[in-house]
């Protein structure tokens, strides 16, 4: 591992999370810089093996968030953000970051639902629909509301948490 990797992971996490919190986007400049930095650090530390490890980490990030992106659950910036962490962390570290981000993202979603009036209304409506389903066994009561009524969760914040945990909590989950 390159001695500057810790610093680059912290900078990447701060930049990506900060942008996602402010604009609900993670710019290509942030993600591409992270991927290039990971490849260069890997190359300088281990030569071709390090660059290959960075590429495999990127591929792992794409594999882990590709399906959620296709389903519209996460945005393209989130996918590229995990790929950037992948370039710095390698395949096992990317899996660790993803697992931490999934746990952190779930907690973050609960906080967002609890703190926003729309979120609390959505939880109450869902609970009523579920109770009606249990009592009536009629699936039609579970129909989603009309229109696009989404509640944004800044998943980049969870991914940053996951990347930091993978870098500094070495061996806590995978590898």
Closest by CA position to 155, among listed 64, 40, 55, 87: 64
Residues 6+ away with beta carbon under 8 Å from 30: 12, 15, 16, 19, 81, 84
Mean pLDDT of 43-72: 96
145 and 65 in one domain?
no
159 and 106 in one domain?
yes
Per-residue CA distances from 93 to 18, 90, 117, 151 (Å): 22, 5, 37, 30
Residue 61 lies in a domain: yes
pLDDT cut 70: percent of the chain above it: 90
Categorize the per-residue pLDDT at 99 as very low, low, confident or very high, splitting at 50, 70 and 90.
very high
Written as one string, the DSSP assignment of the chain is --TTHHHHHHHHHHHHHHHHHHHS---HHHHHHHHHHHHHHHHHHHTHHHHHHHHHHHHHHHHHHHHHHHTTSS-HHHHHHHHHHHHHHHHHHHHHHHHHHHHHHHHHHHHHHHHSHHHHHHHHHHHHHHHHHHHH--GGGGPPPSS-------HHHHHHHHHHHHHHSTTSS--
Categorize the per-residue pLDDT at 62 as very low, low, confident or very high, splitting at 50, 70 and 90.
very high
**Structure pTM?**
0.83
Among 8-17, 40-49, 112-121, name the one with the lowest average pLDDT. 112-121
- What is the per-residue pLDDT for 122? 78
Range of the structural domain that residue 143 is part of: 117-150
127 and 98 in one domain?
no
What Rg do the C-alpha atoms of the chain give, in angstroms?
Answer: 19
Distance CA 16, CA 26 (A): 6
- What is the per-residue pLDDT for 139? 77
52 and 68 in one domain?
yes
Number of domains in the chain: 2
Categorize the per-residue pLDDT at 172 as very low, low, confident or very high, splitting at 50, 70 and 90.
low
**pLDDT digits over 137-166, tens only?**
887 766 666 556 667 889 999 999 999 999
Cα-Cα end-to-end distance for the chain: 14
128 and 85 in one domain?
no
């Amino acid at each position: 591992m390159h001695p500057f990797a810790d610093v680059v992971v912290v900078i990447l996490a701060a930049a990506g999370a900060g942008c996602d919190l402010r604009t609900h986007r993670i710019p290509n400049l942030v993600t591409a810089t992270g991927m290039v930095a990971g490849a260069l650090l890997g190359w300088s530390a281990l030569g071709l093996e390090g660059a290959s490890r960075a590429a495999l980490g990127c591929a792992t990030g794409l594999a882990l968030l590709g399906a959620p992106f296709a389903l519209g659950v996460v945005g393209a910036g989130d996918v590229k953000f995990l790929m950037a962490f992948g370039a710095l962390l390698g395949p096992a570290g990317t899996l660790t970051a993803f697992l931490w981000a999934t746990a952190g993202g779930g907690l973050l979603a609960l906080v967002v639902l609890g703190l926003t009036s729309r979120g609390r209304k959505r939880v109450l409506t869902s609970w009523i629909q579920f109770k009606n389903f249990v009592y009536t066994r009629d699936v039609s009561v579970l129909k989603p509301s009309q229109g696009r009524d989404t509640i944004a969760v800044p998943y980049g914040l969870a991914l940053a948490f996951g990347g930091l945990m993978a870098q500094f909590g070495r061996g806590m989950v995978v590898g």
